[in-house]
Structure 1
């Protein structure tokens, strides 16, 4: 055996063969220059290198400010006051019962609404110048009026229909199905030139 063969033993030879393979033996150690540390273990940042960035942390949401204290001299709110019948103030209590509007009331509302129209001198002088027919929540009105001389009769009659329907619906809460207007006379003012000429 040569000197090379003597230096190889049974297990020593295998160790040397494994050391000769690339990537299987231990890496050689090179000491760091004076003043510097050795290479840190894997996963540790270098001393002079950039630090790893951490995820930004979000601030916890701010709690809403507490409600302001009540002004001095005002007592804490107690149980709500109730009106008659246990109803809250400003609210209508539900009371059982029935409401009836007489036909005479409907007739008077229709008559006054007709007299509000400019050009209507008066109601007719016939026995019943205003008649109403009420059924459930609906009403039909028949009117006979006197129109002032000089006014456009058709325009006055249309305005009477519109005003009577509007006022009766608003005041009585009824649905006005019809307003029939009859113009049966024309009023002539006493100081008009026509009457003076006749005299």
Structure 2
């Protein structure tokens, strides 16, 4: 024998309705919502370059950043009225959503241990970039391009017979 088929649709239990409302309330928007769900933040490569450049220059023993040509162009730019030298010279970065990689070209002052200066630059750059941006710094590669000798002229010093 066959059992009769019910034609009435099953009703939703009333207990599940308040639970669904609680779920909707937990995804608040407005001033009470967590900042992480109220928008996105993107950080440009140039921002990380500036932070890394400033952090590297803070280390004792770092004379300048950049290779010879970049430093020359920076000195020329600094002599032009209204021109400014960029703190990002000698810094290249790759920025992802959560991580960054940094390459630095450094000129070290004569008399400083290059390995010690490089280690301190690496630590300072990582700390500065991670603190200011929240990005994880996966690597800081340092290329020491030159050693600044005490008797070498400063870049940007005007040359001429009369000073």
Taking structure 1 as the reference length, what is the TM-score of the superposition? 0.48
- Matched with 1:171 is 132
Structure 1 pair 130/94, CA: closer, same or farther in 2 (3 Å)?
closer
Who is 1:187 aligned against? Answer: 148
Which structure is larger by alpha-carbon Rg, 1 or 2?
A: 1
1:114 aligns with 2:56: yes
Ranked by relative contact order (alpha carbons within 8 Å, sequence separation 6 or more), the top structure is 2
Q: Which has the higher helix share?
A: 2
Cα distance in 2 between the residues matched to 1:170 and 1:118: 21
CA RMSD, 1 decimal: 2.4
Q: Deviations over 1:107-136 (max 9, x none)?
A: 110111100111001112444511111122
Cα separation, partners in 2 of 1:86 and 1:157, compared to 1, 3 Å: closer
CA distance in 2 between counterparts of 1:186 and 1:106 reads 25
**Which contiguous aligned blocks of 4+ residues in structure 1 show a shift greater than 3 angstroms?**
91-95, 125-128
User: Structure 2: how far apart are the matches of 1:150 and 1:124?
Assistant: 19
Name structure 1 gaps, 5 residues minimum.
1-84, 192-199
Q: For residues 1-23 of structure 1, what are the alpha-carbon distances to aligned partners after superposition, in whole Å with 9 as ceiling and x for unaligned?
A: xxxxxxxxxxxxxxxxxxxxxxx
Q: 5+ unaligned residues in a row in structure 2: which ranges? A: 1-29, 71-88, 153-163
Matches within 5 A, 1:126-145: 126-127=69-70, 129-145=90-106
